[in-house]
Amino acid sequence: MFSGIRGRLTVIVGVCLVCLWALLGPLLKGEERSLKLGLDLQGGTHLVLQVSDPDGAMSAEARADAANRAREIIGNRVDQFGVREPTIQRVGVDRIIVELAGIQDVGRAKLIIEQTAFLEFKILTDGQDFLERLSMLDSVIVATLGPEELPAEAQAAAEPSLEELFQRPDTVEAEPSRPAEGRPRPLTRILLESGEPGVLLVEGPQVETVERYLGLPQVEARIPDQIALTWGTETRSVAGKIYHSLYVVEAQPLITGEYLTDAQATRDPQFGTPIVPFQLTRQGGRIFERGTSRHVGDRMAIILDGRVQGSPPVIRDVLGDRAQIELGTGATLVEAQDIALVLRAGALPAPMEIIEERTVGPSLGQDSIDQGEVAGMIGVVLVILIMIGYYRFAGILSVLGLLIYVLIVLGGLAGLQATLTLPGIAGLILSVGMAVDANVLIFERIREELAGGKTPRTGMDSGFQNALSAIIDSNLTTLITALILYQFGTGPVKGFAVTLSIGIVASFFSAVFVVRTFMLVWLETRSPSAELSI
């Protein structure tokens, strides 16, 4: 059926119709454009996240599993964030690519994507278990680090610090194991009583030192298992200095966020501060009820990603499947909305870190499209002028073939849902060059055959025949390169490889099949004796 001219024309019309449908179909369905534009063209953010595993504690399977679940959860979050057509895919073992088109507030988007959103409720202790051991921890720190490792002022005796500013309970004063004056007390010195049981204060610049001391394995080993020390999000400023709170909480949570079904952001009707009321499952509600019933009158720390949110509220009554997170005075409603969003979408199985980030502003993207279009048009016009100028009527046929080639490439890109990137446009224009090359090979060969004394009909046939092997070899080797680029490349390079591959296939079809068909039609309609215009 492909041998007759009628059959050939049917194939060409069919291919054109399929490509037109691929191009116009999405438009009929109400989509804005049928070609998906890359972030470099429309503006947006490209992020690569990796499962964070600094200690190398996770196996490859565990990381792959974590990445898989994280992909779903990040997908949920991005959906709720309201991004149109986001791309979220897993690559390699433990990486996720997130592409967000047209995002303006990149910082906020990153925060939402990166947040682990692990929610825990823990009872605030009175802190005695920890305070009792403070002097012992001091000696452990001195013994571990050696006296010369300690900051100079820590070696001096304690001075009265916040005692005048905060009402200080007697507990610490009366502590029996209080060390003798003059002994270095590196930790005790920088941990200040807040006046609230279980809450300590640390001056801003000292936070790192405290973290370092508490992170020592020898220190960790001497802190009782049933308590945990957790930093809060709120800071207090007293007499021009900023203080961070450190909470002594029960290590075992009453409940975690896995039972959460819904969370919304709103404002506290009484104080106007942002709050996030949430709803637990029925099972979660029962667990929470049992837990809180034992702790009426105690304070409960609400911990998100290892940080106590706001000031721990007092449990006044047994709580069921409803409760709320109070964010404190400094927080905005947008922050509350983002917390509600990540809570609804679920916690990440492991923390993720951003290892690659590319952002293109929308104006730059538009510039690129405009410039790409202008350059593309000029390039195409040049090709048309050269081909028609040099090959005359055959050149016109090849330009018609090129138009069909362009239609196939665009239809192919739309049909495969490929993304058109800036290097992609370059690949497209380059493959126009390859399509031209195939035509040039054929026409030159036909000229040779005609010069060798063949009739137009046989000259054309053997021209196509003899040019074919060179075209196949050159197209296949370029296709090999394009496929390797696709395999190894990321982002922009992949876009280049896709358009180049589609371009090669389309150019082969256009030059070898379409142009030949046109030439067959041409031979049929002209007088047999006339010279070929080539």
Partner 1 sequence: MRLFSSADYKFLQMRQTAYIVSAVLIAIGLISIALHSGLNYGVDFTGGTLFQVRFNEAVAAADVRSALGGAGFTNLQVQDFGREGEFLIRLAEFIEAGDRELALRVDGTLSERFGQDSYTVVRTEAVGPKVGGELRQRAVGAVLISFLLTLLYLGFRFEWRFGLAAIIATVHDVLITFGVISLFNVEISLPTVAAILTIIGYSLNDTIIIFDRIRENLKKLRRLPYIDILNRSINETLPRTVMTSGTTLAVLLALAVFGGAVIREFTIVLIVGVIIGTYSSIFVASPALLEVERRSGGMRSKTDRRRIAASTR
Binding to partner 1 (CB under 8 A) within 355-394 occurs at 355-361, 363-364, 367-368, 371-372, 374-375, 378-379, 382-383, 386-387, 389-390
To which H or E segment does residue 262 belong? Answer: strand 260-263
Query: Which residues inside 10-69 make contact with partner 1, applying CB under 8 A?
Result: 40, 48, 52
CB of 295 to partner 1, least distance (A): 33
Strand, helix or coil for residue 294? coil
DSSP category for residue 420: E
CB of 47 to partner 1, least distance (A): 10
> Are residues 208 and 154 in contact, defined by beta-carbon separation less than 8 angstroms?
no
> Based on CB atoms, which residue is closest to partner 1, 153 or 357?
357
To which H or E segment does residue 460 belong? Answer: helix 456-488
> Are residues 286 and 331 in contact, defined by beta-carbon separation less than 8 angstroms?
no
CA pair distance 187, 151, nearest whole angstrom: 11
422 binds partner 1 (CB under 8 A): yes
> Based on CB atoms, which residue is closest to partner 1, 111 or 238?
111
91 binds partner 1 (CB under 8 A): no
CB of 164 to partner 1, least distance (A): 35
CA pair distance 28, 21, nearest whole angstrom: 10
> Based on CB atoms, which residue is closest to partner 1, 224 or 306?
306
210 binds partner 1 (CB under 8 A): no
> Are residues 517 and 398 in contact, defined by beta-carbon separation less than 8 angstroms?
no
CB of 357 to partner 1, least distance (A): 4
482 binds partner 1 (CB under 8 A): yes
CB of 166 to partner 1, least distance (A): 31
459 binds partner 1 (CB under 8 A): no
Q: Tell which residue, 422, 419, 411, 439, has the closest CA to residue 503.
A: 411
> Are residues 274 and 268 in contact, defined by beta-carbon separation less than 8 angstroms?
yes
x/- binding map, residues 432-451, to partner 1, per CB under 8 A? Answer: xxx-xx--xx--x--xx--x
206 binds partner 1 (CB under 8 A): no
111 binds partner 1 (CB under 8 A): yes
420 binds partner 1 (CB under 8 A): no
User: What one-letter code names the amino acid at 298?
Assistant: D
User: What one-letter code names the amino acid at 77?
Assistant: R
Query: Which residues inside 117-146 make contact with partner 1, applying CB under 8 A?
Result: none
473 binds partner 1 (CB under 8 A): yes
470 binds partner 1 (CB under 8 A): yes
CA distance to 41, 243, 323, per residue, from 190 (Å)? 53, 11, 35
Instruction: Spell out the residues 6+ positions from residue 374 whose beta carbon is closer than 8 angstroms to its own.
Output: none
452 binds partner 1 (CB under 8 A): no
Burial call 406-435: b when 16+ CB within 10 Å, e when fewer: bbbbbbbbbbeebbbbbbbbbbbbbbbebb
User: What one-letter code names the amino acid at 326?
Assistant: E
426 binds partner 1 (CB under 8 A): yes
Q: Which stretch binds partner 1 (CB under 8 A): 194-202, 247-255, 293-301, 425-433?
A: 425-433
CB of 393 to partner 1, least distance (A): 13
